[in-house]
Amino acid sequence: MIDGQQRTHPDWVELEPPRKSRKRFSWTPYLFIAPNLLGFAAFTLLPLIFALVVSFADWDVISGMKGITWVGLENFRDGFSDPTFWKAMRITAIYVLGSIPLTVVLGLLLAVGLNGPSPGRGILRLIFFIPYIVNAVAISATWILLYHPRYGPINAILRWIGVDRPPLWLASSDWALPALIIMAIWGGVGYNAIIFLAALQTLPEDLYEASDLDGAGVIEKFRSITVPLLSPTTFFLLITGFIGSSQSWGMINLMTRGGPGTSTTVASYFIYQNAFQYYRFGYAAALSWIMFAIVLVLMLLLWVYQRRAVFYDS
Amino acid sequence: MSISAITPSGRSMKSVKRQRMVRWLIVFLVLWLIALLFVLPFYWMAISSLKRDIDVFRLPIRWWPDPISTYGFERVWTGPHPITKFMGNSLLVAGSRVFGEVLTASLAAYAFARMEFKGRNVIFVLYLATMIIPHQMLLVPRFILYQAIGIHDTLWALILPGMFTVFGTFLLRQFFMGIPLDLTDAAKIDGASELQCYWQIVMPLAKPAIASLMILAFVWSWNDYETPLVMLTTESRFTIPIGLTRYMDEGGGISPSLAMAGAVSSIVPVMVIFLLLQRQFIQALTRSGLKG
């Protein structure tokens, strides 16, 4: 702010010649970006080119360069006609749509609750946030035990409140995916609430005061002020949530290894299996390009939609 | 509608106040009830880590370990797969990554935010474009690359890519842009070099942003499970998350107290960081929200 004002001060403009003509070529900026740029080129750009090249090959990596067979577009054709892959994509869709929207909505409600002057707010915030900072292995080890059909505390509680035959959770192909969705929501709500809370604290107080004078109720204010003003944050959390949960497979590997059967084999886990369990690196690379393209198109559609629906303050 | 709304009907101030009180109490109770649901798994983890294996699954649930057994913790800390080894590896990886990332990202961010040079915008857009590429897509080609250059199954496979991140560069660039140019311009008139401006003016002013980056980079590195799973095969090089799987029998026969003792032990360091730096941590997360 201050900077901009001084820059355009008329005296300053008159006294100094335009900035551009003073500039001479200098290596300094390039030296500044060099370490980061070289590392970026080596560990991100180069691998990306690799990923493209490998997707046109049949290669198990272990047998070295001799083991490469170029197959053209075959990996992509196989991918598009592989029913297991498309089933995995369907499971991904259920997993993502089952967990993310609910996580965002609950996160918003929680943030509104935490925004009030309730005692112990700091402790509450801390509690909701713990799942975010705990590693996936510790979380999965705990939930595997919690979900234990015979002896786990969840079913013990369910039986105690009168559910005769509680679900078998991870051991059942019908309940394994819902079990993972419940965990994902539990793990994500706190983070969403924290982000919403920060956004809530930037909202203009006077809008609420004005609607107080109109006699608007709590729900009315939430619906007509809070929700529209927070829509950029909601959109951000939805997009990053969709992308993040469609990519992650670590939890699946720890909890169910894609099973029972293939009932929890999401697409990203299927890709992982192809690469690192079946050593079909070319096929895995091709599948991840297909999946990337699909996710990208969906996110672009969502972005076009949000330009009409999201309220940006300016 | 507006008329009845202007006068909040004929209710007395007292009843309005009471209504507020009731509403506040409901919110309060609901919040704590949800909090209980969130904390229960961790509470259960903690008590199970101190129970004997046969007591962990005893029904009805015992909400307190009795008798207390330290078997799990003894095995985790001094058994055949000591967690100290994994923790050392994790610390080494996270420490090197944080140091390298802050250094390379801040230098690059300084150039992107405060210097004019040919190709700046092209390079920066290229950086941003790769942020939408799923990390998972890089696993396969990085695996191949590491095999080729011989760092597969070493800690370098985790450290090196973490030292040069687009995210860190972007986060710091945003912050550096907010520091007035006049500050460094004045120093330059007095003969300071760009490097001096970077190190003596911009970096000290950017401490909050650097702290944010350090906290996030440390926690993400500490908790990363997918990368070491693919890149490491030798147990002596395992980091915490991968090492934890050693306490769970692959055959499915988990020793619950052992697994829970490992889980509790792995959480403690991040919990300490979080408790000490809670405000900065939350600031870091909201700041990282800028990446959208």
Burial class from Cβ neighbours inside 10 Å (0-12, 13-18, 19+) for residue A194 reads: buried
- Tell me the pTM: 0.85
pLDDT in tens, B206-224: 998 898 899 889 988 999 9
DSSP H or E segment with residue B229: helix B226-231
Q: Please give the pLDDT value at position B249.
A: 63
Q: Within the 99-128 window of chain B, which residues sit less than 8 Å (CB to CB) from chain A?
A: 103-105, 107-108, 110-112, 115-118, 120, 123, 127
Confidence label for A7 from pLDDT (cuts 50, 70 and 90): very low
B61 at interface of A, judged by CB pairs closer than 8 A:
yes
**Which residues of chain A does B118 touch, with a Cβ-Cβ cutoff of 8 Å?**
25
8 Å CB contact of A44 and B164: yes
Nearest Cβ partner for A46 among B134, B145, B266: B145
8 Å CB contact of A292 and B260: no
Domains of chain A, residue spans: 95-309
Q: State phi, psi for B52 to the nearest 5 degrees.
A: -75, 150
Say which residues have a Cβ less than 8 Å from residue A102's Cβ, sequence separation at least 6: A185
8 Å CB contact of A141 and B254: yes
- Is the backbone peptide bond immediately before B60 cis, with ω within 30 degrees of 0? yes
**CATH 3.40.50.10740 applies to domain A95-309:** no
pLDDT in tens, B98-107: 999 999 999 9
pLDDT in tens, A9-55: 444 444 444 455 456 788 899 999 999 999 999 999 999 998 999 99
8 Å CB contact of A247 and B135: yes
Among A32, A58, A170, A292, the residue to mutate for chain B (most B Cβ within 10 A): A32
CATH number of B81-291: 1.10.3720.10
CA closest to B264 among chain A residues: A138
CA-angle at B223, arms to B217 and B225, nearest 5°: 120
CA closest to B219 among chain A residues: A133
Q: State phi, psi for A131 to the nearest 5 degrees.
A: -55, -30
Nearest Cβ partner for B45 among A48, A116, A142: A142
Confidence label for B148 from pLDDT (cuts 50, 70 and 90): confident
**Which residues of chain A does B248 touch, with a Cβ-Cβ cutoff of 8 Å?**
141
**Which residues of chain B does A23 touch, with a Cβ-Cβ cutoff of 8 Å?**
116
Among A15, A16, A21, A36, the residue to mutate for chain B (most B Cβ within 10 A): A36
Identify which has the larger pLDDT, B283 or B42: B42
pLDDT in tens, A221-241: 888 888 888 888 898 899 889
Taking the CA of residue A65 and the nearest CA in chain B, the distance in Å comes to: 10
Q: Please give the pLDDT value at position A207.
A: 82
pLDDT in tens, B5-37: 444 555 567 777 888 788 888 888 888 888 898
State CA A142 to chain mean position distance.
Answer: 23
Nearest Cβ partner for B41 among A39, A142, A247: A142
8 Å CB contact of A250 and B226: yes
Nearest-angstrom CA–CA distance, A253 and A272: 10
Q: Which two tokens stand for residue B50?
A: 């101190």
Among A145, A192, A256, the residue to mutate for chain B (most B Cβ within 10 A): A145
Question: Where do the DSSP E strands lie in chain B?
Answer: none
Percentage of chain A surpassing pLDDT 70? Answer: 91
**Which residues of chain B does A268 touch, with a Cβ-Cβ cutoff of 8 Å?**
134, 136
Taking the CA of residue B55 and the nearest CA in chain A, the distance in Å comes to: 11
Lowest mean pLDDT among A21-30, A51-60, B88-97: A21-30
Identify which has the larger pLDDT, A180 or B80: A180
Q: Is the ipTM of this complex over 0.90?
A: no
pLDDT in tens, B152-210: 999 999 999 999 999 899 989 988 998 999 889 999 999 889 999 999 999 999 998 89
Nearest Cβ partner for A135 among B41, B241, B278: B241
Lowest mean pLDDT among A93-102, B53-62, B211-220: B53-62
Whole-angstrom CA distances from A183 to A96, A158, A178 are 12, 17, 9
CA closest to A220 among chain B residues: B5
